[in-house]
Amino acid sequence: MISGDDQAVKETSGGSLKERAYKIIRENIISCRLAPGSVLNEKELVRAIGASRTPIREALSRLEQEKLVIIVPQRGTFVSEITAKTINDVYQVREILEPCLVRLATPLIATAELEAMRDEFLRLTPDDYDTAIAADDAFHSRI
């Protein structure tokens, strides 16, 4: 489960509590610290994130819209399972969209910034998963 000492908690200070809760839970799902199929205990999330129930529920609702969690009335909230079909579908869409998006975005980004992104990518190591995820998020946010 998420803890207040988690790196994701430290990196998402600032912003609304709803946004902070969303980012923390999302990061923990994407990094598999919250395993697919696991139950998300609302009280534990409140304690770990340091927010009231309302921002936690709003964050979970947003994550449900993104299909990262499943909310089952009277049963609880669960991290969505990952299936081979889901992975295949995601990569098919990315394969179509990303080259077009790169062509559109590249002229809008300064050469020095593109070089800095490239240099950051080249510094990544296979064992530094958290840094790679953060760099990927920053890259996609910028584009």
Q: What is the pLDDT of residue 1?
A: 64
Q: Which amino acid is located at 57 in the chain?
A: R
Taken in order of first residue, the domains within the chain and their CATH numbers are 7-79 (1.10.10.10), 84-142 (no CATH)
Q: What is the pLDDT of residue 11?
A: 53
Q: What is the pLDDT of residue 106?
A: 86
Q: Please report, for residues 48, 52, 85, the alpha-carbon distance to residue 137 in angstroms, rounded to integers and kept in the order given.
A: 23, 27, 23
CB 18 within 8 A of CB 52: no
CB 69 within 8 A of CB 80: yes
CA distance 20 to 17: 5
Specify the residue for token string 């098919």: 92
Q: Which amino acid is located at 124 in the chain?
A: L
**Positive or negative CA dihedral for 129, 93, 137, 76?**
negative
Instruction: Please list the pLDDT of the chain residue by residue as tens digits (143 residues).
Output: 675 455 555 555 557 899 999 999 999 998 899 999 999 999 999 999 999 999 999 999 999 999 999 999 999 999 999 889 988 999 999 999 989 988 998 899 899 988 988 898 899 888 888 888 888 888 878 77
Encoding tokens for residue 51?
């927010």
Residue 69 parent element (H or E): strand 69-72
CA distance 97 to 92: 9
130 C-beta neighbours (distance < 10 Å), count = 12
pTM for this predicted structure = 0.64
